[in-house]
Amino acid sequence: MKCASPLSIVLAIALFALTACQSPAVPDIAASAGPLDGGELRETLLGHTLSRTGGPLWRRWDYAGVHRADGTIAGRVSWSGGEEVASGVWDISSEGLYCRTWNNDWGDGRRGCFQVWRSGDVLVFDHVSGSPGDDDRYAYRLLPKEP
Helices and strands in the chain: count of H runs, count of E runs: 2, 8
- 71 domain residue, yes or no: yes
Report yes or no on 123 lying in a domain: yes
Dump pLDDT digits (tens) for 79-102.
Answer: 999 999 999 999 999 999 999 999
**Phi, then psi, of 93 in degrees rounded to 5:** -70, 170
CATH number at residue 75: 2.40.128.640
Cα gap 144→142, rounded to integer Å: 7
Domain contains 63? yes
Whether residue 51 lies inside any domain: the answer is yes
Range of the domain at 130: 6-143
What's the half-sphere exposure (Cβ side, CA atoms, 13 Å) at 131?
12
What's the confidence (pLDDT) of residue 58?
82
Q: Is residue 136 part of a domain?
A: yes
The string of pLDDT tens digits covering residues 52-83 is 999 888 889 999 999 999 999 999 999 999 99
Q: Which amino acid does the sequence have at 82?
A: G
Q: What is the pTM of this model?
A: 0.76
In a domain, 1, yes or no: no
What mean pLDDT do residues 130-143 have? 92
The pLDDT-based confidence of 120 (bands split at 50, 70, 90) is: very high
Q: How many domains does the chain have?
A: 1
Decide if 105 is inside a domain: yes
Q: How far is CA 66 from the centre of its chain?
A: 10
Question: Residue 45 falls within a domain, yes or no?
Answer: yes
